[in-house]
C-alpha cells in the first residue's frame, strides 16, 4: 500500500519519512483528491436543511487524507528537495492548486454554506467565525463567479502554481550549484569562523581540503561585514544579488512577468483594478492605501537615517585608506568597523557566547517561564534528514501539547531563508488532535564535534521562527480552519517578531550566553555594549526592508505593468523612491521568494512592519509590568495571541491583550526613526 495513504501509525502520528519515495506522491494525491471531492459531493447531496454541523463542520472535516499529504509535500519540497522530488513537484503542485480551487468552487457545498452564512447570527462566536472565514474563502476562490469565470480562475491557479514552482526551483538551483571560489589569499582574509564554514562547505561538496563560499545568507552576510579583502566582498555580493538569474536558462525575469500577468487577470475576474486590492481584502490593512500610509510614514525618516549613516561610513572608509567611493559591498564592512569603534562589539568575540545549543536552551527556557512548556527530545525517530531533531512538547503538569521538529542547518537540497510550517494543525472537533510543527533555519553547519556559533542576527532568527512555532503549538481552536498560524497575513508575524524581544533580555543572556570553550558567562561590559548597539545601523536594515516592500506594492498595484526589462524597472523605481545607490533591497526581484514562490506574501511583504507596530507595542506591556516574564501579562499573551489562533478578529485580539489599539510610535522608536 502507498505509505502516504496508509494510516500514519508512527510515534506521535509523524509521517512515515523512512518509507516515502518521490514516486508515492502523485498517485496518493490523485487518490486523496478524488476522495475529498466525493465527500463534498456527499455533503452537497444531503436532503436535510443546511446547518452548522452538517455543512460548515462537515466541510472543515472533509479531505483529511488530502490535507495531510498536501502539507507533507509542501514541507518536504522546501526542506529536502531531491532531484526526484523536484521532478514530482512540477507535476504535483499544479494538481494541488487545481484541487484547492475546485474545492472552494464546489457549487453544492457553497450553496449550503451560503445558506448557513445567511443565518450566522444564531451561532456561537467561534462557530460564526468559522462560517464567515469559510464563506470568504469560497468567495475569494471564485465561487460567486459565472461558470466561465470559475473555470478561468481554476486555470489561473494551476498556471500560477506551475510558474511559482519553477521560480523557486531556479533560485534553489542557483544557490545549490554556484559557489564563490576562494584563493589562498581570500581564505587568509577570513575570520576563523568563516574559514571553518567555507572549509566545511567545500567538504560537503566533495572538495575536502579547499574552501568555497556557498550562496547562503549565514555565510555571505558575515563575509560582507568582516572581510577586509574588498575584491572578495565584491565577488560575493555580486553573486548574492544575482541569484535567480545567474544562468540564462534559469532567468526568473520571464517567470515573474508571467506570474504578474496571471495575478492581475485574476484580480480583474473578481472585479478589482489590481492584484494588491484583491489580495489585501482579507487583511487587517484592508487595502493598498493603509499599506502605503504605513510604509511612507517609515520611509522618509529611514532615508534620512541611512543618508547620515552613508556619510559616516564614507568618511571612515576614506580615512582608513579606501580611495574608491563607497559601494554596496563596502557598506556592511565599514559599518561593522564603526560599530566596533563605538560600542566595542566584535562579532567574532560575540559568537562564542551565542552557540546554537545555548540559544535553543534559552528559547525553550523562555517558553517554560512564559507559558509553562517543556521540550523533551525524542531519539530514534525516523525523519527526512539526519539533522532534524524531534521534541515532544508538554504543558503544565506534563500534559502532551504537540510535537516540535527543528532543522537548523543549510544544505544544497534545502531552500534558503528561515521558516516555520505545520505538518498537522491542532483541532478539537471530532476528537483532540495535537499539532506537529517544524522550524527551519539555514545556519552554517560546523565540523563534526564543533559547536555551531550564531551571530546576533542568527539568534534573532532562531527566536523569530520559534515564535511562529509557539503560535502553532499553543493553538486552542475547535476547528482546523481557525487553528494555528491560519490567521490574517498581517497578524501572523506578531507572535514571531514579538518573541525576538527575549533574545537580548539581560536575564536570559546572563543564564544562557556562555562561552563555547570556557563556559564563562557573557561579560557584563560586552552585554552592555550589545544593548547599546541594538539600534546601530538601523537605517540600512530599515531601508533594505522597506524598499522591498515598496517594490512589492508597485508591482501589484499597476495592472498594465509589462516589465520588459526587469532590472531597468527595478532601478528606475528605486531611483524614484530616492534609494541611495550604495544600498540594494533586501530581496531583488529575481530571487524574491516571498513574492514569487507562492501567493501568501504577494502584495503583502509589508506585513513585517505592520506586525512590528503590534509587537513593539505589545512588548511594552511587559516593560510596564516591570518584568519580561510577568505572569499576568504572559497569561493574557497566551490567551489572546498565541492560543486564540483565528478564533478572534485580530484587532479585537490585540485590544483584549493590550487594552487598546496599537500605537505606531513604539515601532518608530524601536527602529530609531522617531528622532530623525
Q: Which residues contact 545 (CB under 8 A, 6 or more apart)?
A: 586, 608, 609
- Grouping H, G, I as helix, E, B as strand and the rest as coil, residue 205 is coil
DSSP state of 123: S
Spatial neighbors of 39 by CB under 8 A, at least 6 apart, are: 62, 63
Q: Which residues contact 6 (CB under 8 A, 6 or more apart)?
A: 16
Residues 6+ apart with CB under 8 A from 352: 453, 515, 516, 517
Active site annotation includes 465: yes
Question: Closest Cα to residue 495, out of 603, 366, 598?
Answer: 366
Q: Is-contact 402 393, C-beta < 8 A?
A: yes
Catalytic residue among 309, 465, 500, 612: 465
Show the cell assigned to 404: 516540535
Is residue 421 within a helix (H) or strand (E), and if so which, with residue range? strand 419-424
Q: Is 150 helix (H, G, I), strand (E, B) or coil?
A: helix
Nearest-angstrom CA–CA distance, 593 and 546: 16
How far is Cα 178 from Cα 205, in angstroms, rounded to an integer?
A: 11
- Cα gap 613→527, rounded to integer Å: 26
Question: What is the rounded CA–CA span in Å between residue 605 and residue 291?
Answer: 10
Picking from 543, 606, 573, the residue whose alpha carbon sits closest to that of residue 308 is 543
Name the DSSP letter for residue 405.
E
- Alpha-helix runs per DSSP H in 104-216: 107-118, 125-141, 147-177, 184-188, 192-204
563 vs 561: CA distance, rounded Å: 6
5's grid cell: 495513504
The CA-based angle 134-137-139, given to 5 degrees, is 110
Compute the C-alpha angle 281/299/503, nearest 5°.
85
Interatomic CA distance for residues 297 and 656, integer angstroms: 26
Catalytic residues: 465
Amino acid at each position: 500500500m502507498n505509505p502516504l495513504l496508509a494510516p500514519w501509525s508512527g510515534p506521535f502520528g509523524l509521517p512515515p519519512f523512512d518509507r516515502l519515495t518521490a514516486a508515492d506522491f502523485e498517485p496518493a494525491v490523485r487518490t486523496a483528491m478524488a476522495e475529498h471531492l466525493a465527500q463534498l459531493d456527499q455533503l452537497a447531496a444531503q436532503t436535510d436543511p443546511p446547518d452548522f454541523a452538517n455543512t460548515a463542520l462537515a466541510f472543515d472535516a472533509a479531505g483529511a487524507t488530502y490535507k495531510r499529504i498536501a502539507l507533507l509535500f509542501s514541507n518536504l519540497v522546501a526542506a529536502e528537495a531531491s532531484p526526484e522530488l523536484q521532478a514530482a513537484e512540477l507535476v504535483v503542485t499544479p494538481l494541488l492548486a487545481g484541487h484547492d480551487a475546485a474545492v472552494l468552487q464546489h457549487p453544492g457545498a457553497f450553496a449550503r454554506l451560503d445558506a448557513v452564512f445567511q443565518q450566522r447570527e444564531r451561532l456561537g462566536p467561534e462557530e460564526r467565525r468559522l462560517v464567515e472565514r469559510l464563506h470568504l474563502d469560497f468567495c475569494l476562490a471564485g465561487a460567486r463567479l459565472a461558470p466561465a469565470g470559475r473555470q478561468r480562475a481554476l486555470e489561473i491557479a494551476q498556471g500560477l502554481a506551475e510558474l511559482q514552482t519553477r521560480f523557486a526551483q531556479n533560485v534553489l538551483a542557483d544557490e545549490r550549484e554556484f559557489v564563490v571560489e576562494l584563493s589562498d589569499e581570500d581564505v587568509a582574509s577570513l575570520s576563523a569562523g568563516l574559514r571553518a564554514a567555507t572549509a566545511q562547505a567545500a567538504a560537503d561538496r566533495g572538495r575536502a581540503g579547499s574552501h568555497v563560499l556557498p550562496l547562503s545568507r549565514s555565510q555571505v552576510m558575515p563575509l560582507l561585514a568582516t572581510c577586509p579583502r574588498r575584491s572578495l566582498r565584491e565577488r560575493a555580493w555580486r553573486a548574492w544579488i544575482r541569484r535567480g538569474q545567474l544562468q540564462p536558462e534559469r532567468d526568473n525575469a520571464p517567470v515573474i512577468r508571467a506570474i504578474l500577468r496571471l495575478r492581475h487577470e485574476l484580480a480583474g475576474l473578481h472585479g478589482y483594478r489590481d492584484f494588491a486590492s484583491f489580495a489585501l481584502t482579507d487583511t487587517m490593512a484592508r487595502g493598498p492605501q493603509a499599506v502605503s500610509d504605513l510604509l511612507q510614514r517609515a520611509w522618509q525618516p529611514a532615508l534620512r537615517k541611512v543618508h547620515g549613516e552613508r556619510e559616516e561610513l564614507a568618511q571612515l572608509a576614506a580615512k582608513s585608506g579606501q580611495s574608491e567611493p563607497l559601494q554596496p559591498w563596502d557598506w556592511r564592512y565599514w559599518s561593522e568597523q564603526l560599530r566596533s569603534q563605538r560600542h566595542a562589539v566584535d562579532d567574532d568575540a560575540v559568537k562564542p557566547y551565542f552557540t546554537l545549543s545555548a540559544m535553543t536552551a534559552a528559547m525553550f527556557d523562555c517558553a517554560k517561564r512564559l507559558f509553562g512548556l517543556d521540550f523533551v527530545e525524542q531519539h530514534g525517530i525516523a525523519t527526512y534528514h539526519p539533522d532534524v531533531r524531534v521534541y515532544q512538547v508538554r504543558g503544565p503538569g506534563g500534559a502532551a501539547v504537540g510535537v516540535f521538529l527543528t532543522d537548523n542547518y543549510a544544505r544544497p537540497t534545502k531552500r534558503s531563508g528561515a521558516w516555520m510550517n505545520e505538518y498537522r494543525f491542532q483541532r478539537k472537533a471530532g476528537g483532540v488532535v495535537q499539532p506537529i510543527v517544524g522550524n527551519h533555519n539555514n545556519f552554517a553547519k560546523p565540523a563534526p564535534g564543533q559547536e555551531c556559533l550564531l551571530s546576533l542576527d542568527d539568534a534573532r532568527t532562531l527566536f523569530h521562527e520559534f515564535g511562529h512555532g509557539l503560535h502553532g503549538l499553543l493553538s486552542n481552536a475547535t476547528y482546523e480552519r481557525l487553528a494555528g498560524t491560519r490567521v490574517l497575513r498581517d497578524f501572523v508575524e506578531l507572535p514571531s517578531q514579538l518573541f525576538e524581544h527575549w533574545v537580548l533580555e539581560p536575564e536570559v543572556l546572563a543564564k544562557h550566553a556562555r562561552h563555547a570553550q570556557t563556559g564563562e558567562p557573557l561579560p557584563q561590559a560586552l552585554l552592555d555594549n550589545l544593548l547599546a548597539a541594538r539600534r546601530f545601523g538601523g537605517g540600512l536594515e530599515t531601508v533594505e526592508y522597506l524598499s522591498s516592500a515598496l517594490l512589492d506594492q508597485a508591482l501589484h498595484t499597476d495592472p498594465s505593468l509589462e516589465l520588459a526589462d526587469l532590472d531597468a524597472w527595478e532601478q528606475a523605481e528605486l531611483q524614484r523612491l530616492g534609494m541611495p545607490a550604495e544600498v540594494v533591497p533586501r530581496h531583488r526581484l529575481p530571487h524574491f521568494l516571498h513574492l514569487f514562490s507562492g501567493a501568501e506574501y504577494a502584495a503583502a511583504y509589508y506585513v513585517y512592519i505592520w506586525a512590528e507596530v503590534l509587537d513593539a507595542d505589545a512588548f511594552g506591556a511587559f516593560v510596564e509590568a516591570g518584568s519580561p516574564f510577568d505572569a499576568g501579562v504572559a497569561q493574557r499573551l497566551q490567551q489572546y495571541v498565541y492560543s486564540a489562533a483565528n478564533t478572534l478578529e485580530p484587532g479585537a485580539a490585540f485590544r483584549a491583550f493590550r487594552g487598546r489599539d496599537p500605537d505606531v510610535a513604539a515601532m518608530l522608536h524601536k527602529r530609531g526613526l522617531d528622532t530623525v
